[in-house]
Amino acid sequence: MHPELFLLIGISLSLGFTPGPNNAVASYSGFNFGIKKTIPLILGVWFGYTTFVTLTNFVLISTFIKYPIIQEIIRILGTFFLIYLAYKISFSSLSKEDKKVNPVKFIDTFIFQFLNPKGVMAGITLISKFVLEDDYINSSLSVIVVCSLTAIVSITTWAFLGKFLRKFATNNNFIKRFNYAMSLLLIICIIGFYI
């Protein structure tokens, strides 16, 4: 499975590192709250996506294939959640006291992995393509491990990108514009789900 493994890693990395809802929120959090206060968000994405891929692989894949309407429902619920996150990010307060608490929590990002249209489609696609019937356990474990590692590396990288961009934040207007840009990125992700 070596050539397949390299292909799995390549596709997983390209899906994980491209801009998307998780990455936009991680950059927002790293920018506004620093890496230490972004750790719950990072862990929420990591554990949530790993749990989603594991459950999908061993339990839900036949349900998704048999009832494609479930994917549409997930897309709609994910859209509402993203609109809610975009609103929270756009209108987050800049005062010193409010800045101490990250409005995006572990549980928010954990649950969102089951509603994130990009993540759901990525997980289903990778499982469908790389889990082999004649080597089910080994190929399943490969997909789960690669997805898990990609999730933690990509979300952490995007959080550090936000933290790095904070160096250029010289005033509250810059911070507001950055937050608006991250909200806009979420809205663009939503539009991308429907095009």
Question: Domain coordinates of the chain in residue numbers?
Answer: 2-194
Question: Residue 110: pLDDT band by 50, 70, 90 thresholds?
Answer: very high
Number of H helices and number of E strands within the chain? Answer: 10, 0
Query: What per-residue confidence (pLDDT) applies to 97?
Result: 45
62 or 137: which leads in pLDDT = 137
pLDDT (mean) for 167-179: 80
Estimate the share of the chain in helix, then strand, then coil, as percent rounded to the nearest 5.
85, 0, 15
Closest CA to 17 of 156, 130, 190: 156
Q: Kindly give, in sequence order, each residue whose CB lies less than 8 Å from that of residue 1, ignoring residues fewer than 6 positions away.
A: 132, 135, 138, 139, 142
68-91 per-position pLDDT tens digit: 888 788 878 878 887 887 887 777
pTM: predicted TM-score of the whole model, two decimal places: 0.82
